[in-house]
Chain A
């Protein structure tokens, strides 16, 4: 079955960077885009960007341009999202989600809590 498994939570200091992983299984890794979405405490969902594992092309929301980097490791079917220059407002749960077509986001990871303090 399709699974997206994310690493455990992180605690970081302001100004630091965090790299969150998302390991995919149960489907052909390079045939599906992966999006990253975050959710601050008590808030809605916020789209951060996406990556095409087939070639690594990325697209980032304007808000995060210059501060976020998404990469893939096809040998381990893992997608990474690195966010730099962390601020307390970046405290959130970070999710990866699979996209079979037209941003359907049909399977999600369990989320990685990141605390900036």
Chain B
């Protein structure tokens, strides 16, 4: 059982916007502004798309945005494209060394 809670699946049509929620506690998401989101295509390694809850690494499309309120983080993908179909994982900092990070169970996005 994952420490962070994500919906198992979401879907959206080409060009639409979708959101993926990630719920935690005051010990993880709520305690730090350090939520990351990763995109993972089948058979590939995860790729960072959002860090520090709302910042995008260079090279990541501006269609991806993140936010956080209380113990819940949200990933928004606007203008859905076919290549956005993937699994999205949220991740929160919990502490240094033996506390590390915790992940959600992953959300499979289907683009209709």
Residues of A within 8 A of B (CB): 35, 37, 43-47, 49-50, 57-62, 95, 97, 102-111
Contacts and interface: CB of A to CB of B under 8 A. Distances in A.
A86 to B, nearest CB: 22
A50 B48 CA distance: 18
A44 B89 contact: yes
B18 interface: no
Contacts, number: 71
B106 A45 contact: yes
Chain B: interface size category: 20 to 34
Given A44-B89, A59-B97, A59-B100, A104 B106 contact: no
B103 A46 contact: yes
Given A47-B100, A58-B97, 17 more contacts: A37-B46, A45-B91, A57-B97, A59-B97, A59-B98, A59-B99, A59-B100, A61-B100, A95-B46, A102-B32, A102-B93, A103-B93, A104-B36, A107-B48, A108-B47, A110-B45, A111-B45
Interface of B: 2, 32, 34, 36, 38, 45-48, 51-52, 57, 89, 91, 93, 96-106
Contacts of A35: 100-101
Contacts of B96: 59
A68 to B, nearest CB: 11
Nearest to A42: B106
